[in-house]
């Protein structure tokens, strides 16, 4: 009788655990872009695209030395990658942008004050040092695909970030020593992206 009671208790506990896991997975899968607050826009490309979500936090000029801050909440659940998307960028400008002495520092903190990622460096570091840890890398744009990859600056220190949809985040972007050769039309868009299914 005692064994039967223990067996029933284990079965109930197992069922409760399974139901809890299913509930959490459904909650994560039920994210809707309308939850996003504080940024410019969010795009949902669908489950079978990668990245599925692209949240644009703001828009700022690359040619001007200044500090910018953004506060957002309701981001898609992580892991997400941070990048500085380049707007009004033309492929012919790639060598110039990659040689700029402009320095960009970013930090992303959650509402408890914890630093999720931080990075700093000049755009010319990649040309000078190659693909080293913690430098800004200019990628995208050059592809035979029908839809070219968005040209952006990314940093290995700000990939696979553990973003929570229930937390608020503060993003600070500091542009310093702006190179006078910088095209005034180029804007940088702090962006968090991820989710979806990456096909082989």
**Are residue 129 and residue 93 in the same domain, yes or no?**
yes
**Are residue 6 and residue 45 in the same domain, yes or no?**
no
Question: Contact at 8 Å (CB) between 134 and 156?
Answer: yes
**Are residue 81 and residue 9 in the same domain, yes or no?**
no
Q: Which two tokens stand for residue 142?
A: 């050059």
Domain that holds residue 41: 33-194
Residue 40 lies in a domain: yes
| pLDDT tens-digit readout, 99-123 | 999 999 999 999 999 999 999 999 9
Residue 26 lies in a domain: yes
Residue, of 193 and 33, whose pLDDT is higher: 193
Strands annotated E in 45-194: 53-56, 60-61, 66-73, 80-87, 103-110, 115-122, 137-139, 152-154, 168-176, 187-194
Q: What percent of the chain has pLDDT over 70?
A: 84
**Are residue 70 and residue 86 in the same domain, yes or no?**
yes
Specify the number of domains making up the chain.
2
Q: Comparing C-alpha atoms, which of 100, 82, 73 is closest to residue 164?
A: 73
**Are residue 117 and residue 87 in the same domain, yes or no?**
yes
Question: Contact at 8 Å (CB) between 161 and 75?
Answer: no
| pLDDT tens-digit readout, 59-84 | 999 999 999 999 999 999 889 999 99
**Are residue 21 and residue 90 in the same domain, yes or no?**
no
Which residues, at least 6 apart from 161, have a Cβ–Cβ distance to it below 8 Å?
78, 79, 80, 81, 82, 108, 116, 117, 192
Residue 200 lies in a domain: no
């Amino acid at each position: 009788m005692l064994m039967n009671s223990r067996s029933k208790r284990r079965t109930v506990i197992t069922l409760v655990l399974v139901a809890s896991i299913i509930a959490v997975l459904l909650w994560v899968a039920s994210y809707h872009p309308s939850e996003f607050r504080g940024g410019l826009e969010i795009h949902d490309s669908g489950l079978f695209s990668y990245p599925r979500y692209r949240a644009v936090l703001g828009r700022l000029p690359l040619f001007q030395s200044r500090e910018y801050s953004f506060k957002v909440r309701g981001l898609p659940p992580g892991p997400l990658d941070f990048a500085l998307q380049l707007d009004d960028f033309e492929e012919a400008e790639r060598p110039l942008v990659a040689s700029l002495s402009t320095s960009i520092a970013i930090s992303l903190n959650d509402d408890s004050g914890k630093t999720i990622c931080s990075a700093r460096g000049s755009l010319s570091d990649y040309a000078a040092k190659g693909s080293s840890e913690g430098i800004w890398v200019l990628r995208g744009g050059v592809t035979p695909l029908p839809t070219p990859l968005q040209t952006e600056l990314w940093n290995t220190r700000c990939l696979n970030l553990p973003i929570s949809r229930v937390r608020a985040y503060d993003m600070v972007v500091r542009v310093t020593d702006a190179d006078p050769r910088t095209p005034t039309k180029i804007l940088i868009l702090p962006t968090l992206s991820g989710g979806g299914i990456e096909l082989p």
